[in-house]
Chain A
């Protein structure tokens, strides 16, 4: 199996918290999209005949480019790559871009899943985040997408804002649980360097998010969704039974993927590579092949990736894949694992070593404890 990621690096406006690569200069759109098709063709051999089971349009804001552009990109993939019969094709969409005509064209183009950037149902929050929609639009967009047959869609939420009360968060989750959507990704607000938000916090214009609120909201999130029958299958991802995201899951199982477009990452053959995070540089450097950097993973890197990613998921660390690297995690960390299994942070079923509900709160810390150092 394999995946394809397409980074659409354009936005109408900048969200204050976002540190993904995007540009609000839309004039190069056509050129960049044409070059992405070129990149797809150029890299067709990288997946070595693996069947592609997921295509993902991320951004930026993929919903602001024309549906015909999306169709052309999907067509290019279909022409060059071997597609699986069971194919997930996701497009990230802002609620204010979701309308009935567009939904029809996306469906025609081959999109079968939307990732709707709801973020919050608090209009004040949406305003300071500089989102281009309000909560009413968000709910309407979700409703419309479901109605038009995008029932595998997902919504994105952000929590941990100091001004969001517990009750507000509970109400948001109640809406999510009842609205008919089958997948949610929810993220703690983090302040990334270089964002408008970090600048505002430095100036004292905004209260920084605190650990206490973050973990409080996270606890509510996990409790509410799990008790409503959601499958908490990764730190920040929840699905109704049968609705896990193929694309996201591929990342955590270290399945290869080709990422095209400015700032996109790829993984295949033990190499992680990333395209330059600048539309201009992407356009300029593509022809001489200097538009990306890469890193060959060492054995230690691979082992640490398996540990780090495995601990984030409900599946857990596949200890056989560690054995295949000649690494016995039980031999290496016997006492540590014993005590963590005893105190209910980890569990072990002869094949998989995974964090418990309690342990998942500390997945990073446990991962770094279990890391191999070279």
Chain B
């Protein structure tokens, strides 16, 4: 155990985490030059394209230092706020962390919040100043930031470059010298922390774990404490470039277990593995059942594809337990699913995976958060779909989730960002100058306000020099109303939204204008109205189409024209109908483009 080192990497997107990780694998000869695809650790196509890690990964390296062989386990963590619980579990499996900071960009919000997580878990931090090769590198300034942040010695900071290989040897030495070996009792009952799981279509769910105490052997009968389920450890092993089976894995080390589990939801990140016969007395602290933060309806474009969509969602859930869904039906969209996601990025990923991996084209409704409606003289109702909000006269009050948002930016953008956050109902809680030019702002604001139209605005007003991170704090009473959209007097359920009362008028007006652009003219006039209860607060009118017939149809036009009308018919089949009004799919996402 004393020759094992477990560490993770804390870095902001684009600060070069994956490239540097690849260098470590190369230097320790874990991977040959030839096999080194760029960013070996990110294996989903989507991850490589977006340059971020969505799932956690783990890889084991061997490293010779002063005549002694060490086992280094690198536990890679997701790089996005949507997945912060997974990050916390990966951190809990480590004794040390590399803090990678881009020498040109400095410390970002995401880095800081993950750094605090690591410090909370008493991890030893090795600061690394990456991308030293860049012409825009400002090592002295960024060193100041790091020094101030982790109160380290300036010379503890390792200058490095994933591109040139600078500092890679120093990093490996520091891992061995500075990070302590794991502490654990190899003779105590088995206690292992699940920090991730992956899905393999042949072998089922593979769980990644770190053994805290005891030892796990191939063929052992094991129990997952929180789910209460018992399994046979069909295969255990370590994670190198491939999975390498082992007979046993003991305290301090990291490995995988295959035990014929079919569904991802049986393997919960943060759960404890123990022996059925000689169980540990207490489970590992910090387990949480992750709850979705953002909800949206997903419907098949072609109503006949509902069953296919159900199958696809079920398959996705096999390897992504954080996706939750239940069937729902909409007057406008037919049958579909109300889905819960960890955040907006997670929602986009699910949508893209449905399209790429399952060939499904779907309509996604406008995302919303989960509300708590307190009904007079009755109990609380959880509202994940705006149409489920009880009638206004039955409601005592409604609560919505609030977050603590952390924004780090350059001082010249502070004014604009404060303006934005206040417009989004944010309240400034703290303002700290990290250096003379870098400011950390902390706001409390409703989660609903950052769900859409926030990141993009933040980026544009700060010209990209603002990083953003958040965590949920609590539910708070807000003056919320349900805004309905009506087309010729008929409500379009899929367009209803829960919104703060003070914003309802402006929002109602904007969405009516947007819908006017998106809904094609029909033979009759279409009234687009926004209303709260029975009160109409905005209206737009689409004038009737006066003519829909082409002038010429002679011998040479007949075939072309027939095909054109057949195509129109097929297009119309993809539209949705509310009353007599036909609505194109794009209209259901209208709110997202409301400020275009």
Partners in one complex: yes
Residue numbers of A with Cβ under 8 A of B are 5, 186-188, 190, 211-212, 214-215, 218-219, 235-236, 248, 251-252, 257, 259, 263-267, 272, 274, 295, 301, 304-305, 308-309, 312, 360-365, 367-369, 371, 373
Complexed CA–CA distance, A80 and B50 (Å) = 71
Complexed CA–CA distance, A362 and B522 (Å) = 10
Q: Is the pair B561, A308 in contact by a Cβ cutoff of 8 Å?
A: yes
Q: Is the pair A362, B548 in contact by a Cβ cutoff of 8 Å?
A: yes
> Closest Cβ of chain B: how far from A246's Cβ, in Å?
13
Which residue of B is nearest A302, CB measured?
B562
Contact of A211 among B545, B556, B558, B569 (CB under 8 A): B545
Q: Which 7 A/B pairs are nearest by Cβ-Cβ distance? A: A215-B546, A187-B551, A215-B547, A368-B565, A365-B548, A363-B549, A265-B556
Which residue of B is nearest A367, CB measured?
B565
> Closest Cβ of chain B: how far from A340's Cβ, in Å?
10
Contact of B562 among A218, A251, A266, A305 (CB under 8 A): A305
Max chain B C-beta neighbours (<10 A), residue from A274, A361, A364, A373? A364
**Which residues of the other chain, A, contact B136 by a CB distance below 8 angstroms?**
none
Complexed CA–CA distance, A358 and B570 (Å) = 25
**Which residues of the other chain, B, contact A235 by a CB distance below 8 angstroms?**
549-551, 553
Which residue of A is nearest B565, CB measured?
A368
Judged by a CB distance under 8 angstroms, whether B568 is at the interface is yes
Q: Is the pair A236, B566 in contact by a Cβ cutoff of 8 Å?
A: no
Number of interface residues of B (CB under 8 A): 24
Q: Is the pair B555, A368 in contact by a Cβ cutoff of 8 Å?
A: no
**Which residues of the other chain, B, contact A272 by a CB distance below 8 angstroms?**
558-559
- Name 7 extra pairs, CB < 8 A, besides A364-B565, A371-B569: A186-B551, A187-B551, A188-B550, A265-B558, A362-B549, A365-B549, A368-B565
**What are 23 pairs between A and B in contact, CB < 8 Å?**
A5-B555, A188-B550, A188-B551, A190-B550, A211-B546, A257-B555, A263-B556, A265-B556, A265-B558, A267-B555, A301-B562, A308-B561, A360-B549, A361-B546, A362-B545, A362-B547, A362-B548, A363-B549, A364-B550, A368-B565, A368-B569, A371-B565, A373-B569
Q: Is the pair A308, B562 in contact by a Cβ cutoff of 8 Å?
A: yes
Tell me if B's interface is mostly helix, strand, loop or mixed. Answer: loop
Q: Tally the A-B contacts, defined by beta carbons under 8 Å.
A: 96
> Closest Cβ of chain A: how far from B143's Cβ, in Å?
56
Which residue of A is nearest B547, CB measured?
A215
Complexed CA–CA distance, A169 and B558 (Å) = 29
**Which residues of the other chain, A, contact B552 by a CB distance below 8 angstroms?**
187, 236
Complexed CA–CA distance, A266 and B554 (Å) = 11
- Binary contact track B224-262/A, C-beta < 8 Å → 1, others 0: 000000000000000000000000000000000000000
Complexed CA–CA distance, A364 and B573 (Å) = 16
**Which residues of the other chain, B, contact A218 by a CB distance below 8 angstroms?**
547
Are A274 and B556 CB-contacts (below 8 A) given A211-B547, A360-B549? yes
**Which residues of the other chain, B, contact A190 by a CB distance below 8 angstroms?**
550-551
Are A373 and B570 CB-contacts (below 8 A) given A264-B556, A362-B523, A365-B523? yes
Which residue of B is nearest A250, CB measured?
B555
> Closest Cβ of chain B: how far from A89's Cβ, in Å?
16
Q: Is the pair B549, A312 in contact by a Cβ cutoff of 8 Å?
A: yes
Q: Is the pair B547, A259 in contact by a Cβ cutoff of 8 Å?
A: no
> Closest Cβ of chain A: how far from B519's Cβ, in Å?
15
Q: Is the pair B558, A236 in contact by a Cβ cutoff of 8 Å?
A: no
> Closest Cβ of chain B: how far from A255's Cβ, in Å?
10
Complexed CA–CA distance, A218 and B569 (Å) = 25
> Closest Cβ of chain A: how far from B572's Cβ, in Å?
7
> Closest Cβ of chain B: how far from A346's Cβ, in Å?
13
List B526-565 residues whose CB lies under 8 Å from chain A: 545-556, 558-559, 561-562, 565
> Closest Cβ of chain B: how far from A335's Cβ, in Å?
12
Q: Is the pair B548, A304 in contact by a Cβ cutoff of 8 Å?
A: no
